[in-house]
Amino acid sequence: MRLRPPSLARFASLAAFGLVAVAGPALAKDYGQQGAVFAIIEPDVLTMIEAKLRAAEASGKIAAMNKDLTKRATAKVKRPPPVAGIVTATAPRSWTYDPTITVGDDIRDNKGKLIIPRGRRINPLDTVGLRQSLVFLNGDDPAQVAWALKSTTQLNAKLILVAGSPFDRMKAAQRRFYFDQGGELTGKFGIRAVPAVVEQSGRILKVTEVVVPSARGKGGQS
């Protein structure tokens, strides 16, 4: 039988194996135990959370939390937080507000056709007029509410509260009331006191803070 000489690859493998076998014991060093040794514990977090939720549900805790959350959310909707910084008007004040805006970027249709170029000034009142006056008032002030209901109608004005419950007022007056959430509108128009009326005058809006005699001197958030 004729023996074939080992190939170069097999020789390299054997050499490498021998090197590792010889060098292994020399390079590996036992440093002993360094400090305390603890068992590795990997709890199933999801299982633990699920168990706690089941226990809370069984005890009625989750139902109570949901009920409380619903109650608080409903109360906030029915009676939103009053607009900060608004007081009762003690002196008449009037000014104008120009709603004209400058287009910041080109406006194109879905085919890329230019509709409105950047830099053009647009007045919304040229397209859609303010059909109803905007009347801002404190819903917790009976004098302001009485004045607003007496001096306006459902057709010619929108009553917008800065404090109080629009739902309570709607139920009592059988008329729709709105609320200036977060003071967005009063901030835009620069209104600092109520009652205040916003109405269109040509291509601008006229804003007037009105003094209601019987409400003189009271705070807007009383």
- pLDDT value of residue 139: 96
Q: Show the tokens assigned to 34.
A: 């360094």
How far, in Å, are 77, 171, 173, 185, 199 from residue 166 at the CA level?
9, 9, 10, 16, 22
- Mapping DSSP to helix (H, G, I), strand (E, B) and coil, where does residue 27 land? helix
CB 190 within 8 A of CB 141: no
pLDDT at 125: 95
- Using CA atoms, how far apart are residues 88 and 194, in angstroms rounded to an integer? 5
Could you identify the residue written with the tokens 């226990």?
55
> In whole angstroms, what is the distance from residue 29 CA to residue 4 CA?
41
The list of the chain residues with pLDDT below 70 reads 1-43, 62, 67-77, 215-222
Whole-prediction pTM value?
Answer: 0.64
Tokens 């890329």 belong to residue = 112
| Alpha carbon distance 31, 25 (integer Å) | 14
* The CATH number of the domain covering residues in 87-215: 3.40.30
Q: Is the dihedral of CA 149, 152, 157, 161 positive or negative?
A: negative
190 and 198 Cβ atoms separated by less than 8 Å: no
Per-residue model confidence (pLDDT) at position 220? 44
What is the reported pLDDT for 101?
93
Q: Which residue is it, tokens 């937080």?
A: 81
pLDDT digits (tens, 9 = 90+) for 10-60: 544 444 444 444 444 444 455 555 556 655 555 677 788 778 888 878 887
Kind and range of the H or E run holding 88:
strand 87-88
Q: What is the pLDDT of residue 32?
A: 54
Interatomic CA distance for residues 35 and 197, integer angstroms: 78
pLDDT for residue 53: 80
Residue 22: its H or E element = helix 8-27
Per-domain boundaries in the chain = 45-78, 87-215
Closest CA relative to residue 117, chosen from 131, 102, 129:
102
